[in-house]
Amino acid sequence: MKTLDDLLAEGVAGRRVFVRADLNVPLDGTAITDDGRIRAVAPTIAALADAGAKVVVASHLGRPKGEPDPAFSLAPVAQRLGEILGRPVAFATDTVGESAKATVAGLGDGGVTLLENLRFNPGETSRDDAERGAFADELAALADRYVGDGFGAVHRRHASVYDLPARLPHAAGRLIGTEVGVLRQLTDDVRRPYVVVLGGAKVSDKLAVIDNLMAKADRILIGGGMVFTFLRALGYETGSSLVQEDQVPVVRAYLDRAKELGVEFVLPVDIVAGPGFPDLKAQQPTGAVVVPADAIPADLMGLDIGPATAALFTSKIADAGTVFWNGPMGVFEHPDYAAGTRAVAQALVDAPGFTVVGGGDSAAAVRTLGFDENAFDHISTGGGASLEYLEGKTLPGLAALED
C-alpha cells in the first residue's frame, strides 16, 4: 500500500489531489458537537497543501436519500476545517456539478476545497456497479491523484471509497496508516493480558467480533444494552430491558464456547435500572435504582452497569497489556446512567498497557464525559470499520488502496 509520504516524495505541487475523508461529524442544527474526525484528517490535508497540491476534500455526512438535503450539508464542516487548518477552505455547493468544477478550477497551489456531501448523489452508495462507476468517473475528472483517509468509511463499497481509487494513482493517508497499524497490534502483535470490553445496544452487532476475538482475547467484558441478551441466556429475569430473543440460543452457545477455550467471560453482577428510557434532553432525575443482575424487576429497564460491576470491570482491566473497548456501558448521555461508562474509560486511562477506544459511541462518550483524549493510546475514527477488521473481514476501501 503506497503511503502519503510516498506520494509526497513523487511530488504533488500543482496537482489536484482528491482526499476521501470521513467528516461525518455530529451536528446540533449547524453546530458541530464533536470535531474529532475533522482534526484526525487535518494532518493529511495540511501536508498536501504545504507541498503545493490543490486539495479536493470529499466526505459523506449522515444518511441523506441520494439527493440534496440542507440538514446534511457539509457547509459547517468546511468552516471548521478551515479553522483547524489555519487556511481558507473553499466550499463547493455540489459534488460533481458546476460549483464543484468551478471551485476546483479556481484552486491555486496549496489551496483546499471541500465538496458538498457525496451522498447527495445516488451513485455514491448505489449497489449497481455501473451507476456507482459513473459517479466515480465524474469524481475522477476533478483530480489527478487520490488519497484515501476516510477510515470510518473503508468498510463501505461506495464510489468514492472503492471505485475511485481504481481510476487514479492512489495512496493511503496518515490517518488510515495509523488506524491500520493499531488494528494490527490488536490482532497480530498483542501484549497480554488482552482484555476486550464490548457494549452498545444490540448483541447482533458484536457477535462476529466476539467470535473472532474469542481465540485471541484473555478476557471479554460485556456491558451496555447487549448484556441483557446474555443475562437472558443464563436464565435471569431482565425486566423490560432490551433483549434480542432470537439471539439467546446463539449467545448461550458463545458462553459455552468461551468455557471450552478458557476465555474469561465477565458479565455484570449488578445493574442500574429505571422505569424506562430517559428523556435525554430533559436530563431530569429518573428514579434510577441499583438491582442484582440476575433479578431485574419486571417493571424496570436496565440502563447501565452497576457500581459493583464497574469495580469488577476495573479490576479486570487493571493489569491489561492490551485493551480494546467498543460500546458504552449504558445510556451515558444521561447523568443517572453514565457512571459505568465513565468507570470503564477511567480504567483504560489507568491501565498500564496499550489502550484503544474503538470509535463510534465509545469515542463520543470519552469526549462527552470530559476525558483527555491523549490519555488513551488511540481513539479510532471508525467504529464499524474497526469492528469489521477485527471480525477478519476484508474492507473494500483498504483493498482498493493495496493494488
On whether 145 is known to bind a ligand per the annotation, the reply is no
Hunting for cell 481513539 — which residue is that?
A: 379
Give the type of residue at 264: E
Helices 360-368 + 383-390 axis angle, to 10? 130
pLDDT of residue 383: 83
Which residue in 15, 16, 20, 37 is the catalytic one? 37
pLDDT value, residue 382: 87
- Residue 338 CA to residue 389 CA, distance in Å, equals 28
Q: How far apart are CA 207 and CA 214, in angstroms?
A: 10
Gap between the Cα atoms of 291 and 146, Å rounded: 54
Cell 457547509 identifies what position?
75
Q: Is 34 annotated as a binding residue?
A: no
Active site residue 225: no
Measured distance CA(252)–CA(233) in Å, rounded: 5
Helix (H, G, I), strand (E, B) or coil at 136: helix
Alpha helices per DSSP H over 3-50: 4-10, 36-50
287 belongs to an annotated ligand binding site? no
Placement of cell 476475538 in the chain = 213
Residues of the chain with pLDDT under 70: none
pLDDT of residue 371: 96
Q: How many residues does the chain have?
A: 403
Q: Which residues of 201-234 are buried (b: 16+ CB within 10 A; e: fewer)?
A: bebebbbebbebbbebbbbbbbbbbbbbbbbbbe
By DSSP bridging, strand 145-148 and strand 170-172 are parallel
The verdict on whether residue 23 carries a ligand-binding annotation is: yes
User: What's residue 17's pLDDT?
Assistant: 98
Give the C-alpha separation, 303 to 232, whole Å.
15
Is 60 a known ligand-binding residue? yes
Query: Which residue is listed with cell 464497574?
Result: 310
C-alpha cell of residue 44: 493529511
The answer on whether 121 is annotated among ligand-binding residues is no
| Residue in 325, 317, 389 with CA at minimum distance from that of residue 353 | 317
232 assigned ligand-binding residue: no
Contact (CB, 8 A) for 223 and 305: yes
Coil, helix or strand at residue 27: strand
Q: Does 117 carry a binding-site annotation?
A: no
Condensed to tens digits (0 to 9), the pLDDT of residues 75-84 reads 999 999 999 9
Q: What is the pTM of this model?
A: 0.91
**173 included as an active-site residue:** no
Q: What is the pLDDT of residues 112-168, one digit of tens each?
A: 999 999 999 999 999 999 999 999 999 999 999 999 999 999 999 999 999 999 999
Q: Determine whether the annotation assigns residue 123 to a binding site.
A: no
DSSP string over 274-316: ESSS--TTT------EEEETTEE-TT-EEEEE-HHHHHHHHHH
Three-class SS of residue 88? coil
Please check if 22 is assigned to a binding site. Answer: yes
| pLDDT attached to residue 39 | 96
Helix then strand then coil, % of the chain, to nearest 5: 45, 15, 40
Q: Is 360 annotated as a binding residue?
A: yes
What is the pLDDT, as a whole number, of residue 228? 97
List CB contacts of 261: < 8 A, sequence separation 6 or more. 214, 215
Question: Is 224 a catalytic site residue?
Answer: no
Active-site residue (options: 173, 327, 360, 397): 360
Q: Which of 111, 274, 358, 384 is catalytic?
A: 384
- Beta strands 219-222 and 289-292 are unpaired
Q: Which of 202, 257, 367, 393 is catalytic?
A: 202
Residue type (1 letter), 248:
V
384 is known as an active-site residue: yes
